């Protein structure tokens, strides 16, 4: 089973700043199997990034994903107030799906 | 429009049975896995398992095996999540989501289940 850890647990930034969120896997994984989701308060998760770096349909280019092997990053450039929420990374493989604990993004 | 619409909130007693539903529309239901995800209050996401509507093939998280059952009605494009013996620890919000190879691209709005005596 692939275990995912995310850091930081909570981050507080101002509009216009850049957010860098980290997801670390307990073993090397294929980029193809790493995804990121945004969950706004009171809402269902929304797919942002799949295959580590491909944006899902309708996702603004302010959101980008990168990384490989055990270290992956979600970058949100030019933060907007609507970006507040929890960001989850997810691995899909070995007939198993695992999620990271999430990073809470607060906008000052 | 591709969407998943889940059934409404439930309040049940320990030991009772429950079935919640996930109605798919706007795409070929039989062609995509449906996954189920649990979110306990204030916590992260936990994968329960997935089911392929065409043949009802399922893959389960061992942590939840024996606790929940997945099923579908292909003719109605509905996926179900069942419990036979609810426990207080089953209180959570449950999401269904469409699986596209390695991620979940469409999510239901969630069904809140409260189990309390």
End-to-end CA distance of chain A: 37
Mind listing the pLDDT tens digit for each residue in A40-72? 999 999 999 999 999 999 999 999 999 999 999
Q: Which of B45, B97, B101 sits opposite A88 (nearest CB)?
A: B45
Tell me the nearest-neighbour CA distance from A70 into chain B, angstroms: 17
Nearest to B107 among A33, A46, A50 (CB): A46
Q: Check A99 against B47: CB less than 8 A apart.
A: yes
**What span, in angstroms and rounded, lies between the C-alpha atoms of A82 and B108?**
21
Ordered per-residue pLDDT tens for chain B, 117 residues: 999 999 999 999 999 999 999 999 999 999 999 999 999 999 999 999 999 999 999 999 999 988 999 999 999 999 999 999 999 999 999 999 999 888 999 999 999 999 999
Nearest Cβ partner for B61 among A51, A56, A96: A96
- Paired strand residues for A19: A76
Cβ contact (<8 Å) for A35 and B47?
A: no
- Residue B72 CA to residue B93 CA, distance in Å, equals 20
Q: B10 vs chain A: nearest CA distance in angstroms?
A: 17
What pLDDT digit, counting tens, does each position of A1-39 carry? 899 999 999 999 999 999 999 999 999 999 999 999 999
Nearest Cα neighbor of A83 from A107, A100, A55, A54 is A107
DSSP state string for A35-104? EEEEE-TTS--EEEEETTTEEPTT--TTEEEEEEEEEEEEEE-S--GGG-EEEEEEEEETTEEEE---EE
Q: Is the pLDDT of residue A95 over 90?
A: no
CA B46 to chain CA centroid, Å, is 11
Set of chain A residues whose Cβ sits within 8 Å of the Cβ of B46: 99
Contacts of residue B23, Cβ cutoff 8 Å, sequence gap at least 6: B4, B5, B6, B76, B77, B78
Residue A91 pLDDT greater than 90, yes or no: yes
Contact between residue A29 and residue A98 where contact means Cβ atoms under 8 Å apart: no
Inspect the interface and report whether the beta carbons of A92 and B102 lie closer than 8 Å. yes
Measured between beta carbons, the chain A residues lying within 8 angstroms of B27 are none
Is the per-residue pLDDT at A94 higher than 80? no
d(CA B63, CA B55): 24
């Amino acid at each position: 089973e692939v275990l995912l850890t995310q850091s930081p647990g909570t981050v507080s930034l101002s509009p216009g700043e850049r957010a860098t969120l980290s997801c670390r896997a307990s073993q090397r994984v294929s980029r193809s199997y790493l995804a990121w989701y945004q969950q706004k308060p009171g809402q269902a998760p929304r797919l942002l990034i799949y295959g580590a770096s491909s944006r899902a349909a309708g996702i603004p280019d302010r959101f980008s994903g990168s990384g490989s092997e055990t270290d992956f990053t979600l970058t949100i450039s030019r933060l907007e107030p609507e970006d507040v929420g929890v960001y989850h990374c997810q691995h899909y493989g070995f007939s198993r799906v695992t999620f990271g604990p999430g990073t809470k993004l607060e906008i000052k | 429009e591709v969407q998943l619409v889940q059934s409404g909130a439930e309040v049940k007693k320990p030991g009772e049975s429950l079935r919640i539903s996930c109605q798919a529309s706007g795409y070929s239901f039989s062609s995509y896995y449906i996954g189920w995800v649990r979110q306990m209050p204030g916590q992260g996401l936990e994968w329960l398992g997935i089911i392929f509507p065409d043949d009802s093939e399922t893959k389960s998280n061992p942590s939840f095996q024996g606790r929940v059952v997945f099923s579908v009605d292909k003719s109605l494009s509905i996926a179900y999540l069942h419990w036979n013996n609810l426990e207080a620890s089953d209180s959570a919000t449950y999401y269904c989501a469409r699986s596209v190879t390695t991620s979940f691209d469409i999510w239901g709005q969630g069904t809140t289940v409260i189990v309390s005596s």
